[in-house]
């Protein structure tokens, strides 16, 4: 017996029968043969694809797979960060997360493989609803630039106030820019720039963030005295990238880095107003392009491509 173009439907047990043509009697051989067909691994449709929960609730991420040999299922997080269980890899169909926090949100990968070294993967997005969290330096810069870092889901509305009163956004002496740092994690950086004389600049400013689950404020002071030390960039990369598609790690450090974190912004050479906020931190790994680095004082790194 020869089976061509073997399919999964061909799996089963085959029995050898012999027939005497002269007597038309049929005899069964005492040997059976079972045929098993390797089948590529696949993720079943009843697996989780995305899910939304409130902070503090428990959630189950489910993943089921088919194929032959029967696949094993395991879980890991994006960038191989630790799972909420404390492990890098969890083996099993159901990943349970107790008392979800905002730090648990993001992408989870369900992976399935079998002895045939065949694998399948599904990306599961966990979205966590939580009230706003606002962070920023307690002291503002004497040059009139104030920054606050806001997280929150559902979408957060950001409002700036001075001495408890909302700022007049139509005032030409001020500008507010909100940079979406991470759309999936709902992280926004709001930058308030004030162009006025020193006496009018001083005061108590508030960055207020609100969504349907709550609100949070961050107070920032601008005033005279030694407490307001202008941040200074003390080190910045002076490198160029030469090959298209390559990557480069940039470094930028400042004095008083805790009070004045480094902000990386990607510039649009054709339209500087379309600048895109990238991240906060002293180091940034990027492909070839042009970026701007801010820490109240400014410096720009130009990456050239031949």
**Closest C-alpha among 282, 237, 278, 273 to residue 255:** 282
Distance between CA atoms of 153 and 139, rounded to whole angstroms? 27
Domains and CATH numbers, the chain: 8-39 (no CATH), 40-129 (2.60.40.10), 136-222 (2.60.40.10), 233-302 (2.60.40)
Residue 155 φ/ψ region, left for φ over 0, alpha for ψ in the -120 to 50 degree band, beta for the rest: beta
Query: For 234-273, what is each residue's pLDDT tens digit?
Result: 566 655 544 544 556 677 766 555 555 666 666 666 665 4
Instruction: Using the predicted structure, report yes or no on whether residue 305 has a pLDDT greater than 50.
Output: no
pLDDT at 293: 46
Place of tokens 């404390």: 86
* 197-202 long-range Cβ contacts below 8 angstroms, 24+ apart: 198/142, 201/142, 201/144
pTM here is: 0.64
Rounded Cα distance between 119 and 265, Å, is 38
Residue 274, SS3 per DSSP: helix
The confidence score (pLDDT) of residue 248 equals 62
Give the chain's count of helices (H) and strands (E): 1, 25
């Amino acid at each position: 017996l020869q089976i061509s173009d073997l399919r999964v439907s061909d799996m089963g047990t085959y029995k050898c029968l012999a027939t005497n043509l002269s007597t038309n009697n049929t005899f069964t051989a005492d040997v059976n043969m079972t045929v098993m067909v390797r089948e590529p691994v696949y993720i079943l449709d009843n697996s989780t694809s995305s899910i939304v929960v409130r902070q503090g609730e428990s959630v189950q991420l489910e993943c089921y797979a088919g194929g032959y040999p029967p696949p094993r299922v395991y879980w890991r997080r994006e960038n191989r960060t630790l799972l909420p269980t404390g492990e890098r890899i969890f083996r099993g169909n159901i990943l349970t997360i107790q008392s979800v926090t905002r730090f648990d949100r993001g992408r989870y990968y369900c992976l399935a493989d079998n002895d045939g070294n065949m694998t399948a993967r599904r990306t599961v997005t966990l979205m966590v609803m939580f009230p706003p969290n606002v962070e920023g330096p307690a002291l503002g810069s004497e040059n009139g630039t104030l920054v606050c870092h806001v997280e929150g889901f559902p979408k957060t509305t950001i409002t700036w106030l001075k001495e408890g009163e909302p700022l007049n956004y139509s005032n030409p002496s001020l500008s507010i820019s909100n940079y979406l740092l991470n759309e999936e994690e709902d992280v926004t950086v709001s930058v308030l720039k004030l162009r006025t004389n020193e006496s009018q600049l001083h005061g108590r400013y508030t960055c207020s963030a609100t969504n349907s689950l709550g609100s949070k404020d961050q107070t920032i002071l601008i005033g005279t005295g030694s407490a307001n030390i202008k941040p200074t960039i003390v080190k910045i990369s002076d490198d160029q990238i030469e090959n298209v598609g390559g990557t480069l790690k940039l470094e930028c450090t400042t004095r008083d880095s805790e009070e004045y974190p480094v902000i990386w912004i990607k510039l649009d050479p054709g339209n500087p107003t379309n600048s895109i906020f990238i991240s906060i931190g002293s180091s940034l790994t990027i492909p070839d392009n042009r970026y701007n680095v801010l820490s109240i004082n400014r410096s720009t790194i130009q990456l050239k491509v031949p």
